[in-house]
Amino acid sequence: MVGPSEKRIGVWFLKGEHEYSERQACHLVSIPRSVHRYQSIKKPDEDWLRERIRELANQNKRYGCPRIHTLINREAPVINIKRVHRIWKEEGLQLPRRRPKKRNYGPPGEVVNRALYENHVWSWDFVFDRKERGGQLKFLTIIDEFTRESLALPVSSRIGSQKVIQTLEYLFMTRGKPKFIRSDNGPEFVAYAVQDWLRDNQCEAMYIKPGSPWENAYIESFNGKFRDECLNMHIFRNVPEAERIVDYWRDEYNN
In a domain, 107, yes or no: no
Alpha helices (runs of H) in 191-216, residue ranges in sequence order: 192-200
Residues facing residue 207 across a β-bridge: 183
Same domain, 218 and 244: yes
Q: Contact, 226 vs 151, CB < 8 A?
A: no
Same domain, 146 and 68: no
Q: Per-residue pLDDT tens for 208-242?
A: 887 777 778 899 999 999 998 899 888 898 999 99
Q: Per-residue pLDDT tens for 76-106?
A: 877 888 888 888 888 888 776 655 555 544 4
Domain count, the chain: 3
What pLDDT is recorded for position 179? 95
What pLDDT is recorded for position 106? 46
Same domain, 215 and 243: yes
Same domain, 144 and 232: yes
Domain of residue 18: give its range: 4-37
Sign of dihedral through CA atoms 13, 14, 18, 20? negative
Q: Residue 128 belongs to what H/E stretch?
A: strand 121-130
Task: Give the residue ranges of the chain where pLDDT is below 70.
Answer: 1-4, 36, 38-41, 96-112
What's phi and psi for 183, nearest 5 deg?
A: -160, 175
Same domain, 137 and 233: yes
Which residue type, as a one-letter code, is found at position 120? Answer: H
In a domain, 155, yes or no: yes
What pLDDT is recorded for position 174? 95
